[in-house]
Amino acid sequence: MSSDVTEALEEPENLSYEELEEDDNVSATDLSELLKEGTKESHDRAENTQFVKDFLKGRIKRELFKLGTVALYFTYSALEEEMERNKDQPGFTPLYFPLELHRKEALMKDLEYFYGEGWREKVQCSEATQRYIDRIRHVGQHEPELLVAHAYTRYMGDLSGGQVLKKVAQRALKLPSTGEGVQFYIFDNISNPQQFKQFYRARLNALDLDKGTKERIVEEANKAFEFNMQVFEELDKIGALLAEETQEGGLPVHDGKGDLRKCPYYATKLGAAEVSSCPCHVALALLKLPTVQLVLAACVAVAAGVVAWYVM
Ligand code: HEM
C-alpha cells in the first residue's frame, strides 16, 4: 500500500484500520452499506453465471481467458480515462487512487504476454463490452456523480475475489507462477486488500450526498453488474463455439454449430492473420470438424464398396 494511503489511514478524521474494524455502528444510510445490500442480488446472479461458475472450476480455455482480458482492457481504459477526467470533482476525488487501483497498465502487460508485441492490432472491442463502455463514458461526461458506482463495482470486486481467480487461472492455463498473464489480479501497491477495502468504504461513506443521489448510485452499481454479466454471457457463447481443445498457435477447433463467420473469436483471429500457416495444423484442425469427418467417412465407405465389388 502506498504511503499516501497509509498516512490517510492514520489521520484521525479518516479512522485507523483498527478503529474501522471495531466500528460496528455501520449506519443503514452509509453508502457502503447501501451498495453492499442493494447489489446483493446482482452479486449472486453474477457469481452464478455459467462463465463465472466454469471459471471457478478451472474450466476456462486459454483463448477465452485471452478474450476476457481483452474485454477488461477496453473496460478499464474507459473507466480510468473517465476517472482521470473527474479526479477533481468533489463527488469523486476521495475515491481517486490511481497508484493503488488502476488496472490498465497491468492489463496491457497481460495482453502483450498473450498476443505478443503487436497486440494492439490483434484485439478488438466486443459488442457487450462496447455497451458497457458507452455507459461509463456517458456517466463520466454527463452524470459524474454516478462514476463512483462503476469504480465500486469493479475495484471492490477485484480486491475481493482476485487472489482466488488468479490461482485458478494460473493452474488451469499452466501460466508461470511468476505472474505473467495475470498481472490484472496483482495489486502491487496494496499490501492488505481487506484493509484497503475498509478504507475505501470509509471514503464512500464520507461523500457528501443526499438520499436521492445515494439511491441513484446504487441503481447505477446494479447496472454495472448487469453490464458485466452481459460480457460474461457473450464470452460464454464464444466459449461454446470453441471446441474442447484449442491448439496453441494453430486454428482453434470449431464445433461446427452456427455460422463460423459470426464467431467474434474467429473474426479477431482471422482478422489479425494470427492463424498458423502450417499445413499439418490446418489439416488436423479441419479433421476435427464434424462436417469434414462426415465427408471423409462417406468417402471411405464408397472406396470400401468399390474395392469389395472389384475383389468379388
Ligand atoms: C467469481 C465469482 C465471485 C466470487 C467468488 C466473489 C466473491 C466475493 C466475496 C467473498 C466478497 C466479500 C468480500 C468482503 O466482504 O471482504 C465479494 C465482494 C464483492 N464482489 Fe464479488 N465475487 C465474485 C464475482 C463478482 C463479480 C462478477 C463482481 C462484479 C463485476 C463482483 C463484485 C463485488 C463487489 C463490488 C464486492 C464488494 C461488496 C461490498 O463489500 O460492498 N464480484 N465478492
pLDDT digits (tens, 9 = 90+) for 283-312: 555 565 555 566 666 656 666 666 666 765
153 lines ligand 1 (CB under 6 A): yes
Residue 252 confidence (pLDDT): 39
Does an H or E element contain 312, and which?
none
43 lines ligand 1 (CB under 6 A): yes
CB 123 within 8 A of CB 73: yes
Query: How far apart are alpha carbons 181 and 107 in whole angstroms?
Result: 8
Is 243 in a helix, a strand, or coil? strand
Task: Provide mean pLDDT across the span 92-102.
Answer: 98
Q: How far is the CA of 5 from the centre of ligand 1 (A)?
A: 22
197 lines ligand 1 (CB under 6 A): yes
282 lines ligand 1 (CB under 6 A): no
Is 289 in a helix, a strand, or coil? coil
Q: Which residues pair with 149 in a beta bridge?
A: none
CB 60 within 8 A of CB 165: no
Residue nearest to atom 33 of ligand 1 (CA): 157
Residues in CB range of 251: below 8 A, 6 or more apart? 275, 276, 281, 282, 285, 286
Closest CA to 235 of 95, 53, 107, 77: 53
Q: How far is the CA of 153 from the centre of ligand 1 (A)?
A: 8
**Residues 52-85: tens digit of each pLDDT:** 999 999 999 999 999 999 999 999 999 999 999 9
Known binding residues for heme b are 36, 43, 152, 201
Residue 233 confidence (pLDDT): 98
**Residues 196-248: tens digit of each pLDDT:** 999 999 999 999 999 999 999 999 999 999 999 999 999 999 999 985 544 44
Phi, psi of 173 (to 5 degrees): -100, 5
Q: How far is the CA of 275 from the centre of ligand 1 (A)?
A: 37
Q: How far is the CA of 103 from the centre of ligand 1 (A)?
A: 17
What one-character-per-residue DSSP string does 119-164 give?
Answer: HHHH----HHHHHHHHHHHHHHHH-GGGHHHHHIIIIIHHHHHHHH
Confidence bin at 162 (pLDDT 50/70/90): confident
Q: How far is the CA of 190 from the centre of ligand 1 (A)?
A: 17
**Domains of the chain, with CATH numbers?**
3-241 (1.20.910.10), 260-311 (no CATH)
Residue nearest to atom 17 of ligand 1 (CA): 160
- Rounded to 5 degrees, what angle do the CA atoms 173, 179, 182 make? 60
Confidence bin at 260 (pLDDT 50/70/90): very low
Residue 4 confidence (pLDDT): 47
Please provide the average confidence, as pLDDT, over all residues in the chain: 82
Residues in CB range of 60: below 8 A, 6 or more apart? 54, 168, 169, 172, 173
Counting from 1 in the atom list of ligand 1, the atom nearest the Cα of 56 is 1
Query: How far apart are alpha carbons 63 and 238 in whole angstroms?
Result: 10
Q: How far is the CA of 221 from the centre of ligand 1 (A)?
A: 13
**Residues 3-30: tens digit of each pLDDT:** 444 444 444 334 443 444 435 457 889 9
Query: How far apart are alpha carbons 286 and 306 in whole angstroms?
Result: 26
Residue 268 confidence (pLDDT): 41
Q: Copy the grid coordinates of residue 263.
A: 464467431
45 lines ligand 1 (CB under 6 A): no
Known binding residues are 36, 43, 152, 201
- Rounded to 5 degrees, what angle do the CA atoms 11, 209, 227 make? 100
Residue nearest to atom 20 of ligand 1 (CA): 157
Q: Choose between 45 and 249: higher pLDDT.
A: 45
Percent of the chain surpassing pLDDT 90: 67
* 127 Cα distance to chain centroid: 14
Query: How far apart are alpha carbons 114 and 260 in whole angstroms?
Result: 23
Task: Scan for cell 501460466, then name that residue.
Answer: 175
CB 64 within 8 A of CB 235: yes
Work out the end-to-end distance of the chain between its first and last CA atoms, rounded to an integer number of angstroms. 84
Count other Cβ atoms within 10 Å, centred on residue 10.
11
Is 136 in a helix, a strand, or coil? helix
157 lines ligand 1 (CB under 6 A): yes
Residue nearest to atom 27 of ligand 1 (CA): 46
Residue nearest to atom 38 of ligand 1 (CA): 36
Residue 242 confidence (pLDDT): 85
225 lines ligand 1 (CB under 6 A): yes
